[in-house]
Structure 1
Amino acid sequence: MLVGYARVSTREQETRLQLDALRAAGVRRIFEEKASGAAQDRPVLRECLASLRKGDVLVVWKVDRVARSLKHLLSLLDQLDVVGARIKSLNEPLDTSTPLGMYLIQSLGSIAQLERSMIRERVIAGQVAAISRGQRHGRPRTLTDVQEDEVRRLAAQGVRQADIARQLQVSRAVVDRVMNPWRPRYAPQRPVLGPLLNACTKR
């Protein structure tokens, strides 16, 4: 039995192209999901894999629709092997029923992982370059330095955070972040130059 799986990363995207291709390939049972490929838990994918039986073929538009890392891909292949199912990509000549197909799919996963690592390193390098030029990385600050000083002044006078937030027309979380910048969940969005440089050079 052919079992299809289609995925897009966000709710704004559509799976129409994938669905049309799967149906054209003769797939009648299709699991459709809108979730990031990097998500640790994808409920629809889990349901799809649980439905597979011996002899079934998991059909995908491209391999990266079902697995976004080599580790995940190998884990998926192990799950399919346990139940006696195979995987087939419509846009890559891959079929795990053959040794060559298994080799190609593992190689493809390795290349995809390498590409993502290179993209990440380029992003980090860009951040480092921006910081070295004095550009601030991350979301724009909600409050100016003067307003942050005002927050601290009012807090020192015993004014409640909720009242300070109302006076400055910001959320209480913004005020709390100014008063407690050391808290991880409220830390300012300012990358530290040292770790970024280390990340770029450790390879």
Structure 2
Amino acid sequence: MVELQERNVDLVVLDQGIDTSAAVGRMFFQILGTIAEFEHALMSERTLDGLEAARARGRTGGQKPKLGPRQVKLARQTYDEKDEDGKHRYIVGCNGGHRRPVVSTEGQGGRHQLGKRTRQ
């Protein structure tokens, strides 16, 4: 606002009745700015309070893990399995929608979800 005043620029909002060329218009504009700043500060405080309360209840932020500990262990075992050439026998990925590890067998053209055959 100060920069605009230095350049002799006034703000006139026709549908709001704000005219910064008059003292009342400048006051009204500053009050609106103060209210907006106050509202932002309240929102920030409430967010921090909510996060603190969630932490006190044992909640943490972020996305839940896609796989459980048992599924991670099984996926690692499957990935570590090698064929007679020393190559990995399976390719292990995770389908986020199903939250199950997807194991592809190279050369067999199929996909498995923890041992269950699925259509491709």
- TM-score (structure 1 length as normaliser): 0.34
Alignment of 1:65-104 (within 5 A): 74=1, 78=3, 82=7, 84-88=9-13, 90-91=15-16, 93-104=17-28
Quote the RMSD (CA, aligned, Å): 3.5
Considering fraction of residues, name the structure with more helix: 1
Q: How many residues align?
A: 91
Q: 1:141 is matched by which residue type in structure 2?
A: P
Unaligned runs of 5+ in 2: 82-86, 102-120
Which residue of 2 is the match for residue 115 of structure 1? 39
Q: Give the share of equivalent positions with the same residue, in percent.
A: 23
Change (3 A) 1:105 1:127: same
Query: What are structure 1's unaligned runs of at least 5 residues?
Result: 1-73, 176-203
Look up the SS of the partner of 1:164 in the other structure. Answer: strand
Task: Give the AA of the match of 1:88.
Answer: V
Structure having the larger proportion of residues in strand: 2
- Matched with 2:107 is none
Equivalent AA in structure 1 for residue 68 of structure 2:
T
Q: 1:83 to 1:156 in 2, by over 3 A?
A: farther
Partners of 1:88 and 1:94 within 8 A in 2: yes
The answer as to 2:65 corresponding to 1:141 is: yes
Higher RCO (C-alpha 8 Å, min separation 6): 1
Pick aligned residue for 1:169 from 95, 100, 105? 95
Structure 2 length normalisation: TM-score?
0.52
